[in-house]
């Protein structure tokens, strides 16, 4: 089961659907209810949830979701206050399976700003095995962050 955060018009949703087995469950969370409704109409093979990703643990509990194999987020991290990012990252850690994978993007340009570097530090401190790649073909080149949920103490 894969959870996508910030699904928007669905380009990542489509890539996930194309890349995963038909029986794999995809939950796509989008805060804009109009975008969420349009995506659900376009993609009946995905469960679209119109909600704030900050409520992820509650959304998962209300739906009785199993621990997620992966959380893929294209949220606008660099525009968010550190405390808000902390809430979102904590929620992702809560819903991820112990060996689950967290994947997200950060534009390379935002690394020139304190906010982008701060986000990188937050991910590094919360998740384990952080790996960095670059998506040159993203509309502005982006850093791809891939990490694993920390093992419980």
Which residues of this protein are in contact with ligand SAM, per CB under 6 A? 5-8, 11-12, 29-32, 35, 52-54, 74-76
As measured in angstroms, the least distance from the Cβ of 42 to ligand SAM is 13
Which residue lies nearer to ligand SAM by CB, 1 or 27? Answer: 27
- Quote the CA–CA distance of 110 and 98 in Å, as a whole number: 30
Residue 88 to residue 103: CA distance in whole angstroms: 13
Phi, psi of 66 (to 5 degrees): -75, 165
Nearer to ligand SAM, 76 or 133 (CB): 76
Q: Which is nearer to ligand SAM, 32 or 69 (CB)?
A: 32
CB of 22 to ligand SAM, least distance (A): 21
- Pairwise CA distance, residues 119 & 100, whole Å: 20
Integer Cα distance of 141 and 65 in angstroms: 33
> Least CB distance from residue 129 to ligand SAM, whole Å?
24
- Pick 9 or 98: Cβ nearer ligand SAM: 9
Q: What's the min distance (Å) between Cβ of 105 and ligand SAM? A: 8
How far apart are CB 79 and ligand SAM at their closest, in Å? 9
Residue closer to ligand SAM by CB (options 30, 89) is 30
Query: What is the secondary structure of 65-126 as a DSSP string?
Result: PPPEEEEEE---GGGS-HHHHHHHHHHHHHHEEEEEEEEEEEEGGGGGSHHHHHHHHHHHHH
Report the distance separating Cα 131 and Cα 133, nearest Å: 7
């Amino acid at each position: 089961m894969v959870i996508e955060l910030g699904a928007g018009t669905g380009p990542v949703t489509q890539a996930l659907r194309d890349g995963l087995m038909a029986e794999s469950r995809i939950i796509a969370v989008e805060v804009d209810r109009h975008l969420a409704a349009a995506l659900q109409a376009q993609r009946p093979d995905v469960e679209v949830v119109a909600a704030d990703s900050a409520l992820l643990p509650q959304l998962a509990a209300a739906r009785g979701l199993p621990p997620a194999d992966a959380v893929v987020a294209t949220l606008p991290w660099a525009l968010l206050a550190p405390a808000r990012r902390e809430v979102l990252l904590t929620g992702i850690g809560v819903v991820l399976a112990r060996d689950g994978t967290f994947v997200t993007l950060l534009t390379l340009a935002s690394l020139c700003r304190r906010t982008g570097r701060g986000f990188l530090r937050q991910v590094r401190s919360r998740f384990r095995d952080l790996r960095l790649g670059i998506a040159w073909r993203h509309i502005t080149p982006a850093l791809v962050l891939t990490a694993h949920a920390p093992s419980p103490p």
